[in-house]
Each structure stands twice: as structure tokens, then as C-alpha cells.
Amino acid sequence: ALLVEQGYEVIGVMLRLWSESGLEAHNQCCTPDAMALARRVAAKLDIPFYAIDAKNVFRKEVVEYFIDGYANGITPNPCLVCNRRIRWGFLFDKAVSLGARYFATGHYARVDHNKHGYISLLCAIDRAKDQSYVLHMLNQAQLGHTILPLGGITKSQVRQIARDFGLPVAERNESQDLCFLGNGSYHEFLLRNAPYLHKPGLIIKGDGTHLGVHQGQAFYTIGQRKGLGISAPHPLYVLEKDILANVIIVGQKEELGKIELIAESVNWISGEPPKTPFHAHIKIRYKSTA
């Protein structure tokens, strides 16, 4: 709506994403009702609307990555992969084929074209809603064609603008979960789609003391406390996962702290890494502070 008001020729697009058979109505972002709502918004703004089938590519690029991550002992972040390969990959290419020059989304973040010719990704004005973390894998070419109209305003302002335009999404609740999990948990999803991950093994303390049996490493994450199925005089947390030995190591909260990390697959938004060492504030997960 903001871009229409600013004079852009806007095309509305929405993806049809993969869902488990029989659970399509529970997909968090592209249910029939959500699709109908998007069409109503497009009609209200008098812009063309296209629903694009991305089921197969989403299953291959996002869902399989999600399953493989847990199988390999890591906690995957499918939203990052979806943004890079589906939204700014598959969907962006489709948008270009429809004649689009720019790609606009409702993410709360900002794109800045600086005087040196580089494009920077900045936090949103509304820090409580900032989503720059889930866009950090984009490159210069992708950001150069990206418009993020909500990055400079707050969530409450967005809702008021939607009311002013008479859009039916003004009071819609936000989705907080992974779209393809529906109303279930990732544990249930993995049991249905990757039953081979149900591989029980030992839960031990750092000194080797046996405390219990886990149901498969994929169902536990570093830092987890609840649902371990063990009893102890004080709370215990998952400290490490030994994939080869199929063992989960637990300990007390103070043992979770780390003073270093190794980052891999780093994406330098400028297109090249810094030439000299530097100090930085690091955000290690979406809801953490840098």
C-alpha cells in the first residue's frame, strides 16, 4: 500500500509452499484463507495478484535442509535458507520474469545505499520487531533490488496505516512458528518425516555418569532443560551432543557459557571480507541481543 501511494507500479505475489499431505490447512503462511486474504488486499489496492507454486523447490531447499541439520547434530534455521533461496532466489526470479525491477517485502529492516557505492543492511527503527538477522545472508545484488518499506516505521504505525487504507489485514495476528510445522512441534514433524532419527542413546554427565536414555539426538538442542526425561537434585541442561557415540552430555547452567565460537559460511554483505582484524558485536540467534 505504501509503495502504491508512492507511485510504484506494484504486483502482488504470494507463494504456495509445501505442507505435509492432509495438513495443508494448518500451514502458518499460505492457507487457503491466507491466500484469499492476500487477494482481497490486492483487489483493494487495485493491483495484479499472482499465486506462485513453490512446493517442490521449498521441499528441496528448506525442508530437506531442516531435516538434514537435525540429523547432523545442529539446530537449523530454515527461515534464513528460505529468504536466501526461496524469497530472494526462486520468487525474485519469478518477479523479474513478470517485469518487476524491485522486490519489496514486509520485513522490518532497512536497506541503505551509501556514498561509496555499497549497499548496507540496517536494523529496523522498531528494534522490538527488527528482522535484519533473517536477511543477513543476502548479497549486494539482491539488496540492490530490494525495498523494505516497513523498516523506518513501527509496528503500531503499520497497523494504523493498514486501517487507514481499509486493508483486511490490519488486525491480523503475526505468525511466530515455522510455516511448515503447522500446529505441531518440530519433534512430531521429524518423527513423521524422518523416523530414522529416532535412535535412542545415553544421556551422561561430563564425568561419564549415566543419567538416562535419550530418544534421538535430533530431538534435543544445546541449552535445552525441559523434556530430558531425567531426574536430578538441580536443573540440568544439554551441553554437547556426540554424534558418533550417539551420546548427549548434560550439566549445570554455568557450564553452558562459552567465551568463543567458530563461524562458518559467513556472508559479507559488502561482497568481500574485511582486510584487517576488527571488533564486532555478534548476534548468535534471532531473539538475542548483539
C-alpha cell at 207: 564425568
3-state secondary structure of 22: coil
Which residue pairs from 69-74 have beta carbons closer than 8 angstroms and sit at least 24 positions apart in sequence?
70/186, 70/190, 70/194, 70/197, 70/218, 70/219, 71/194, 71/197, 71/218, 72/243, 73/217, 73/241, 73/243
Amino acid letter at 203? I
**Distance, CA of 24 to CA of 22 (rounded, Å):** 6
79 flagged as catalytic: no
Residues 287, 288, 290: CA angle, nearest 5 degrees: 135
The answer to whether residues 250 and 228 touch, using CB atoms and an 8 Å cutoff, is yes
**Distance, CA of 240 to CA of 248 (rounded, Å):** 6
What single DSSP character describes residue 124? -
Residue 104 bridge partners (DSSP): 147
User: Which of the following is catalytic: 30, 79, 82, 123?
Assistant: 82
Which residue pairs from 193-198 have beta carbons closer than 8 angstroms and sit at least 24 positions apart in sequence?
193/20, 193/63, 193/67, 194/67, 194/70, 194/71, 194/218, 197/67, 197/70, 197/71
82 flagged as catalytic: yes
Indicate which residues carry an active-site annotation. Answer: 82, 179
